[in-house]
Chain A
Amino acid sequence: MTGDGGLHIRSLRVVIGRDAGTTILHGIDLDVPRGQVTGLAGESGSGKTITGMSVMGLLPTTARASGQILFEGTDLLTLSARQLNAYRGARIAMVFQDPTASLHPMLSIGGQLTDHYRSHTGASKREAKDRAVEMLTKVQVPEPEIALHKYPHQFSGGQLQRVAIAGALMCGPSVLIADEPTTALDVTVQAELLRLLRGLCDDLGLAVLLITHDLGVMSSLADRIAVMKDGRIVELGDRYQVITAPQDPYTRSLIDALPAADGASAGGRCADGADAARLPGSEGSV
């Protein structure tokens, strides 16, 4: 069970700040199995990113984590920074909510993608470049050969998000943590990326932890959905069950905020000062 290449989070508690600090995660249990997309939803500030950062060993310096994060029988929380480096970015990769976080502003994209890949795999320059072009193509970055020579600021917001996804997939990780990976993508590109992630799960057994506020994305891709609130998991179940029969009030409020099935034709703009709870995150239409 714990040696299956997936991720198993047990009683994860995170406290941030000096002295007693603030408890951000109050004991999280979550399985992220191989070949599946595990969705993580929840209010802004509920602890989704901190959960991902705990797995990566990238918590703020004033943070303390306890519990277990099991990957192939090893508890990642017990590893030293150097030991963790062997996993991080290679076996376990993360697409950060801020796409610039994983990219150095002064280095070309090609340099960053290939250096990282070569240091983890020992590939030649040529192989690394081919791999980078392959990944950039897969995530639909336009003109991948030119993109290699560009710097982060020379991409649009959505292009940079795709570059960050390519970077995370470079080393062929077993576990991918994707933190709001499609917020800057229009629906057509988003659909292609969802398809890519689905394919990696189905064909290569990738374990995906998908953090998203977008129920449309969740509904298309997640196999199971966990919902967080104030540092706790308040709902966990199969996609269909969570979306069609949510038990938790927060989950229900999210579903209720979606327009009715005929919402595609109605004008939904909020009158000034009037109730605006109809804004759809994404909705079924056409």
Chain B
Amino acid sequence: MNALLELNDVHVSYRQPGRGRLSAVQGVSLSLDGGRVLGLVGESGCGKSTIAKAVCGLVPVDAGTITFRGEPIRRLGLRRRDPHAMRIQMVFQNPYASLNPRRTVGRQIEDGLRVNPDQSAWTVADLLTGVELEPSWAARYPHQLSGGQRQRIAIARALAAGPDVLIGDEPIASLDASLQATIAQLMRRLALASGAGLLFISHDLSVVRVVADDVAVMSAGRIVEAGPVDRVWAQPQAEYTRRLLAAIPAVDGLGRLPGS
């Protein structure tokens, strides 16, 4: 049987001003099954968002294949997103980019609910409560929200659609520790309850560790280590993963800069 989502030796590059092309993703293979959470971690600029965009058909793939339920993902054209593509939902790294500034957050969550195959799954109020906002917030516009509130609305909107694959690109980066836990857990629970797969992107291994079953560690466009998240956390094999763990600042109140 095919995996829900499969990336096979994927390469993506971008045009660079005056300097040819930049290889952002260089031969990445990943596989995500339904009912699983795969974490993708790595340094800033290593190609995480590029992979997410490629899966959504937002950037062209130079080589390799990406398949969803065994069928290749097509580059999104000017046509409306085909229904197939609606089964993959993404929470963008910048929540300002995910949301329509001219529609209330309630309307935007309703838009998501409308494409959910299980029409009885959720209401707007359920989802708002799930992300720890009052149901009355449905009447607000995105610009009337704080950064963390906006991030939570983007998550509620993506969950509303009941996707088969949910991609969260740094979806909880601007929340505090206890809210991160609540929201990460919500994403995991809702995705898994419907048999969906969750691809959870973060630069922070300590966040991924809590939400993911497996993790892939990326550096400079390549996967340098992959495996069950507990193993990677406790016994990192790659030198890069070890460095990533060593630079996490300690909360000891001593004012020490990490890595010195």
Check B185–A270 contact: CB distance below 8 A.
yes
For the complex, give the distance between the alpha carbons of A180 and B150 in Å.
Answer: 14
A271–chain B nearest beta-carbon distance, Å: 9
Task: Place the interface of chain A in its size category.
Answer: 35 or more
B200–chain A nearest beta-carbon distance, Å: 11
A-B contacts at CB below 8 angstroms, number: 232
* Contact flags A90-110 to B (C-beta < 8 A → 1, else 0): 000000011111000000000
* Contact flags B163-190 to A (C-beta < 8 A → 1, else 0): 0000001100111111111101100110
Check A191–B247 contact: CB distance below 8 A.
yes
For the complex, give the distance between the alpha carbons of A277 and B183 in Å.
Answer: 11
A159 at the interface (CB under 8 A from B): yes
Check A159–B96 contact: CB distance below 8 A.
no
Task: Output the nearest chain B residue to A219 by Cβ-Cβ distance.
Answer: B251
Check B257–A198 contact: CB distance below 8 A.
yes
For the complex, give the distance between the alpha carbons of A220 and B44 in Å.
Answer: 20
Which residues of chain A have C-beta atoms less than 8 A from B247's C-beta?
Answer: 186-188, 190-191
- A29-54 with Cβ < 8 A to chain B: 41, 43-45, 48-49
B243 at the interface (CB under 8 A from A): yes
A16–chain B nearest beta-carbon distance, Å: 8
A254 at the interface (CB under 8 A from B): yes
Check A97–B174 contact: CB distance below 8 A.
yes
Check B177–A219 contact: CB distance below 8 A.
no
* Contact flags A55-93 to B (C-beta < 8 A → 1, else 0): 000001000000000000000000000000000000000
B77 at the interface (CB under 8 A from A): no
Check A257–B177 contact: CB distance below 8 A.
yes
Q: Could you say which of A60, A185, A195, A215 contacts B257, with CB atoms under 8 Å apart?
A: A195
Which residues of chain B have C-beta atoms less than 8 A from A43's C-beta?
Answer: 176, 179
Task: Output the nearest chain A residue to B150 by Cβ-Cβ distance.
Answer: A98
Check B251–A186 contact: CB distance below 8 A.
no
Q: Which of B83-91, B116-124, B140-148 contacts A (4 or more CB under 8 A)?
A: B140-148
Residues of B participating in the A interface, judged by any CB pair closer than 8 Å: 14, 16-19, 42-45, 48-49, 93-94, 96-97, 143, 145-149, 152, 169-170, 173-182, 184-185, 188-189, 192, 203-204, 206-207, 209-213, 229-230, 233-234, 242-260
Given A279-B207, A280-B207, A286-B248: 14 more A-B contacts, CB < 8 Å: A44-B149, A44-B176, A45-B148, A186-B42, A189-B44, A190-B247, A213-B148, A215-B251, A216-B249, A241-B253, A255-B251, A270-B188, A279-B180, A282-B249
Listed by A's residue number, 16 A-B pairs whose Cβ atoms lie within 8 Å are: A100-B94, A157-B170, A158-B44, A183-B174, A186-B244, A187-B203, A215-B177, A215-B251, A269-B211, A276-B181, A281-B176, A281-B177, A282-B206, A283-B248, A284-B249, A285-B245
